[in-house]
Amino acid sequence: MNDPASHPVINDISNKLESLTPKAQTLGTYIMQNPSKAVFMTTKELAETCEISEATVVRFVSTLGYRGYSEFQEALKDFVNTGLSLPERVAIKGIKEPGTDRLHRGILEELNNLKYLYENINIETMNQFVEKLDKSHSVYVVGSRLSYTFAYYLGWSLTKIRKGIHILKGSDSTSFDMLTNAHPDCLVILVATSRYPNELIKLSKMIRRSGHTLLTMTDSSISPVIQFADLSLVVPARSIPFIGNVSGILAVIQYIVQELANIKGEELTDYQKQLEQVYLENDVLFNLEPK
């Protein structure tokens, strides 16, 4: 798990613990010592575990400055998700439990994540991404480990909409060379998902120093790359994933690409006709028509 001192929600509890009532101190201590358990508990379950009243839980959350228990739970989820090891993720997902219908459970989990995304995504920020993609001279899309999957999908999709798209793997040190030699007016979109590879943090620092415009697409407001970004889009999810939450980021990428296509107009039509001609001339894609 994370170092508890590294996250605001744990810091807040620690700093206020001595000023709380004895029952609230019991609750605060339990949460600090068992965040991966507490994050999944309702107010009733947390109260029963700590042998206190639900009212104490509600007052405790309010004392920390949260508008409600769900907001506190979301902040705690960010902390837990960032620090959970692979074995801990296996435990919370019940992978070893017999007789579990994992397919149905997984689909329902993703549906809940998409509903949460629908209710909480920042449309204005997504549209700012589209605007910058439209106006930038060239675009570099960067990811590493899991986030490289999303970076590649975003970059590959953008090549169908406009020229000047480059896809970089953050784990490859030549990314530093490519970005150092990039056009002064380029745009960099860095995709970072928990557990946040250190090479992406190093890259984001370098990009900030280089003067390029840096947009980050990430899954949490505590993502360490946000501090270096000119603009950051947080793609929220309700659940803590086994490997990674996929559906929300893919939905956001599809929106951004389609919105960019929408504003390109006739320019898009001409560009895509050129692409299709290249595909045809070089026999790139399967074609039902006889040659």
How confident is the model over 237-262, as pLDDT tens digits? 888 877 788 999 999 999 999 999 99
Whether 52 shows a pLDDT value over 80: the answer reads yes
Say yes or no to pLDDT of 136 above 50: yes
pLDDT for position 226: 96
Could you tell me where the beta strands, DSSP code E, fall in the chain? 139-143, 165-169, 187-192, 213-218, 231-234
CATH ID of 4-83, from 3.40.1350.10, 3.30.230.70, 1.10.3720.10, 1.10.10.10 = 1.10.10.10
256 close to 126: Cβ distance less than 8 angstroms? yes
175-209, pLDDT tens digit by residue?
999 999 999 889 999 999 988 999 999 999 999 99
Give me the sign of the Cα torsion angle 237, 238, 241, 247: negative
Tell me what the mean pLDDT of segment 101-120 comes to: 90
- The residue ranges of DSSP E strands in 98-146, in sequence order, are 139-143
Domain positions in the chain: 4-83, 124-281
Q: What class, spelled out in words, does domain 124-281 have in CATH?
A: alpha beta
**This prediction's pTM:** 0.82
Q: What are phi and psi of 135, to 5 degrees?
A: -100, -10
Lowest mean pLDDT among 39-48, 77-86, 218-227: 77-86
